[in-house]
Amino acid sequence: MANFFPRWSNWLPLKLAICSFVIVCGLTAGTWYYVTPKYTKVGYEPIQPVPFPHDVHVTQLGMDCRYCHSFVEVGAHSNVPNTQTCMSCHQQVQKDNPKLEPVRTSWKTGEPVQWVWIHRLPDYVFYNHSAHVNRGISCASCHGQINHMSVVADAKPMSMKWCLECHRNPENFLRPEDQITNLDWKPDDVNPAEFVGKYGKPAGVTEDWSKKTHLTQREIGQTLKERWNIQTSENCQACHR
């Protein structure tokens, strides 16, 4: 039987190889970008029954996170405030604002407001808020600059890799315990002399840090990590119990 592969088929394998290379690379890159929590979770901004503007309450009015999320320092779960908390102000302030109608209904009926859960971890992950906020991890590390959000959106991927970024190098995120709910805090805000006086220095550092003009995040983090003996677990059972 005669040869029936036409001449152009000589180049077909090379063309197929190039095409499949491009397709495979494209699929990989596309999956990497579009199917991971960096894309699927960050920016999630559901419509809440009441559009609670955090920027107004925190930045303009100066309320502390813990006024509403009152059990964050003692509980594993950081609570969403109940209707009574809202009404303690809104009985007097903005008491006829139509946007607050669901809160007033809840106040009358006793049925809680159905807030939409944003920062939701899988049910096999056990995250303890009190363990983190009492040991130098700010609200902003996980929730972003909520104090500037008029509508709360997910700011971080909250993937396991993201959790491990901090569990592997906590010194990149630790801050003094009185600055946890100061979401605008920067390492430059720290007064080196005051900081070194209060927390000391990591072992092995000979330089006098109290004379420095400012401390870096790593210097602050390393000091606090050693001072508080922070041993972040990378064991599976730390979070998957």
Partner 1 sequence: MEGAVAVPEVIEGEELAPTEKPLTRVPLVLNRRSYGWLTERIAGAVENRAPRWWWVAFAVTAAIAGFGLFCLGYQISTGVGTWGLNHPVGWAWDITNFVFWIGIGHAGTLISAILYLLRQKWRTSINRSAEAMTLFAVICAAIFPGIHVGRVWMAWYLAPLPNNYGIWPNFRSPLMWDVFAVSTYFTVSVLFWYTGLVPDLGTLRDRATSKIKKFLYGIFALGWRGSNRHWRHYEMAYLLLAGISTPLVLSVHSVVSFDFATSILPTWHTTIFPPYFVAGAIFGGFAMVLTLMLPARALFKLHDIITLQHIDKMAKIILLTGSIVSYAYAMEFFIAWYSGNQYERFAFWNRVLGPYWWYWWVGMLFCNALSPQLFWFRWCRRNVYVVYFVCMCVNAGMWFERFIIIVGGLHRDFLPSSWGLFIPTWVDIWTFIGTHGIFLSLFLLFIRFLPMIAMSEVKTALPESDVHAQHPAGAMEKEHA
User: Is there binding between residue 160 and partner 1 (CB under 8 A)?
Assistant: yes
The C-alpha atoms of residue 149 and residue 135 are separated, in whole angstroms, by 25
Short-list 168, 183, 162, 181, CA closest to 221: 168
Residues 223, 195: contact at Cβ < 8 Å? yes
The C-alpha atoms of residue 179 and residue 1 are separated, in whole angstroms, by 84
Instruction: Name the DSSP class of 10.
Output: G
Stretch that binds partner 1, among 51-59, 62-70, 152-160, 198-206 (CB under 8 A): 152-160
Residues 157, 35: contact at Cβ < 8 Å? no
Q: Which is nearer to partner 1, 168 or 218 (CB)?
A: 168
**Residue type at position 10:** N
Contacts with 25 (C-beta within 8 Å, 6 or more apart), sequence order: none
- Cβ of residue 236: shortest distance to partner 1, in angstroms? 9
User: Is there binding between residue 165 and partner 1 (CB under 8 A)?
Assistant: yes
The C-alpha atoms of residue 47 and residue 152 are separated, in whole angstroms, by 9
Binding-site size, partner 1 (CB under 8 A)? 16
Instruction: Name the DSSP class of 50.
Output: S
User: Is there binding between residue 6 and partner 1 (CB under 8 A)?
Assistant: no
Work out the angle at residue 226's Cα, subtended by the Cα atoms of residues 222 and 227, and round it to the nearest 5 degrees.
115
The C-alpha atoms of residue 174 and residue 164 are separated, in whole angstroms, by 14
Q: Which is nearer to partner 1, 10 or 206 (CB)?
A: 10
Q: Which is nearer to partner 1, 48 or 159 (CB)?
A: 159
Q: Which is nearer to partner 1, 13 or 110 (CB)?
A: 13
Tally of CB atoms within 10 A around 189: 13
- Cβ of residue 167: shortest distance to partner 1, in angstroms? 9
User: Is there binding between residue 163 and partner 1 (CB under 8 A)?
Assistant: yes
- Cβ of residue 52: shortest distance to partner 1, in angstroms? 30
The C-alpha atoms of residue 47 and residue 10 are separated, in whole angstroms, by 58
User: Is there binding between residue 18 and partner 1 (CB under 8 A)?
Assistant: no
- Cβ of residue 38: shortest distance to partner 1, in angstroms? 8
Stretch that binds partner 1, among 58-66, 80-88, 113-121, 163-171 (CB under 8 A): 163-171
User: Looking only at residues 204 through 233 of this chain, which bind partner 1 when binding is defined by CB under 8 A?
Assistant: none
User: Is there binding between residue 119 and partner 1 (CB under 8 A)?
Assistant: no
Among 6, 10, 98, 124, binds partner 1 (CB under 8 A): 10
The residue ranges that bind partner 1 (CB under 8 A) are 1, 3-5, 10, 13, 36-37, 157, 159-165
